[in-house]
Amino acid sequence: MSFDKERFKSPYSFLFGNMNLRTKTLLIISLVGFVLLAIAINSFFINVDNITTNFAIKNSQPSLQHPFGTDWMGRDMFSRTIKGLGLSIVIGGLASILSAIIAVFLGLSSTLGRYFDHAVNSMTDLFLSIPHILLIILVSISLGGGISGIVVGISLTHWIPLTRVLRAEIKQINTSTYVKLSKNFGRTKLWIAKNHLLPLLIPQIVVGTILVFPHAIMHEASVTFLGFGLSPHEPAIGIILAESMKYLSNGSWWLAFFPGLSLLIIVLLFDLIGDNLQKLLDPTQANE
Q: What is the pLDDT of residue 18?
A: 59
Q: What number of other Cβ atoms are within 10 A of residue 82's Cβ?
A: 22
Amino acid at 256: A
Q: What is the pLDDT of residue 97?
A: 92
pLDDT tens for each residue of 55-83: 888 888 898 888 998 888 888 899 899 99
Cα–Cα distances (Å) from 185 to 113, 180, 182, 189, 194, in that order, read: 19, 9, 5, 12, 16
pLDDT tens for each residue of 158-203: 899 899 888 888 888 888 888 788 888 878 777 888 878 888 888 8
Quote the strand ranges of 138-209, DSSP E: none
Phi-psi region of 165 (alpha: psi -120 to 50; beta: other; left: phi over 0): alpha
* Cα distance between residue 125 and residue 131, in whole Å: 12
* Cα distance between residue 178 and residue 192, in whole Å: 10
Q: Where are the domains of the chain?
A: 27-50+60-281
CATH superfamily membership of 27-50+60-281: MetI-like (1.10.3720.10)
End-to-end CA distance of the chain, in Å? 30
Written as one string, the DSSP assignment of 27-85 is HHHHHHHHHHHHHHHHHHT--GGGS---GGGTTPPP-SSSTT-B-TT--BHHHHHHHHH
Q: What is the pLDDT of residue 114?
A: 83
Burial class of 142 by CB neighbour count within 10 A (0 to 12, 13 to 18, 19+): exposed
CA atoms within 13 A on the CB side of 86: 20
* Cα distance between residue 11 and residue 225, in whole Å: 35
Cα–Cα distances (Å) from 167 to 48, 128, 172, 284, in that order, read: 44, 16, 9, 22
Q: What is the pLDDT of residue 7?
A: 45
- In the chain, which stretches have pLDDT less than 50? 1-10, 12, 14, 286
Q: What number of other Cβ atoms are within 10 A of residue 90's Cβ?
A: 15
